[in-house]
């Protein structure tokens, strides 16, 4: 793992055109329908809603596709958008290991302040959050990113999880059959489960 925080930020929100992508919006839509996260008539609701959904599907394919070795891996990344259970996450050994590290709670506390007081998270907002956190806490690299990913995605991992974060707020309210918990709701749930 690269311990250079600047390269981690750059990798985490870099344009996806740098990596190959075997997936398109249709692949994402097909997975969502198979998993029951998108109803068959979802695109017939209105032209505006259909356009928003199509833009989200295209964005999901562009953000997650380069990080998915195959269709199963893409479905797993998409699943992180539709399933979040902070209590179950915090019960895992992986989460406990992250939360036992020095500074994890401080990162979570500062992240909560920023997320709960700010706008929806997109690529630019995520960069701002990281830069703000770097001024508020002394932690970098995995000490910074692992708690963020744990709190907002429910998993510890690498930059592909940052792309999941970028899709959460834009997925809220699109009419999926499973309500998507946005970053604010996830942050509140995580903090409540942490106590």
130-170 tens-digit pLDDT = 999 999 998 788 889 999 999 999 998 888 899 999 999 99
| 41 within 8 A of 159, measured Cβ to Cβ | no
Q: What is the pTM of this model?
A: 0.84
Residue 140: strand, helix, or coil: coil
Q: What does the angle CA 47 – CA 51 – CA 55 come to, to the nearest 5 degrees?
A: 175
Query: Which residue, 157, 143, 153, 145, is CA-closest to 86?
Result: 153
1-31 tens-digit pLDDT = 444 444 444 444 544 444 578 899 999 999 9
At residue 74, does pLDDT exceed 90?
A: yes
| 157 within 8 A of 147, measured Cβ to Cβ | no
Better-scored residue on pLDDT, 43 or 118: 118
Phi-psi label, residue 179: left if phi above 0, alpha if psi -120 to 50, beta otherwise = beta
User: Which long-range contacts link 118-124 to residues 24+ away (Cβ below 8 Å)?
Assistant: 120/169, 120/170, 120/182, 120/183, 121/165, 121/166, 121/168, 121/169, 121/183, 122/166, 122/169, 122/170, 123/13, 123/166
Better-scored residue on pLDDT, 46 or 186: 186
Work out the number of other CB atoms within 10 angstroms of the CB of residue 103: 14
Cα-based torsion angle of the residue sequence 163, 27, 65, 127 in order, rounded to the nearest 10 degrees = -20
Q: What is the pLDDT of residue 50?
A: 84
79-129 tens-digit pLDDT = 999 999 999 999 999 999 999 998 999 999 999 999 999 889 999 999 999
């Amino acid at each position: 793992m690269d311990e250079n925080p600047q390269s981690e930020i750059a990798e985490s929100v870099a344009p996806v055109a740098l990596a190959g992508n075997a997936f398109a919006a249709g692949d994402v839509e097909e997975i969502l329908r198979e998993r029951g996260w998108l109803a068959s008539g979802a695109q017939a609701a209105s032209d505006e809603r259909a356009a928003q959904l199509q833009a989200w599907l295209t964005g999901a394919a562009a953000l997650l596709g380069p990080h998915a070795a195959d269709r199963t891996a893409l479905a797993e990344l998409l699943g992180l958008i539709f399933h979040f259970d902070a209590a179950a996450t915090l019960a895992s050994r992986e989460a406990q290991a992250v939360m036992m590290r020095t500074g994890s709670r401080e990162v979570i506390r500062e992240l909560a302040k920023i997320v709960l007081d700010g706008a929806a998270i997109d690529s630019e907002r995520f960069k701002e959050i990281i830069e703000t956190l770097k001024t508020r806490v002394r932690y970098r690299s995995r000490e910074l990113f692992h708690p963020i990913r744990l709190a907002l995605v429910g998993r510890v991992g690498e930059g592909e999880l940052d792309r999941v974060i970028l899709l959460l707020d834009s997925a809220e309210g699109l009419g999926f059959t499973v309500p998507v918990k946005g970053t604010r709701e996830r942050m509140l749930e995580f903090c409540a489960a942490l106590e």
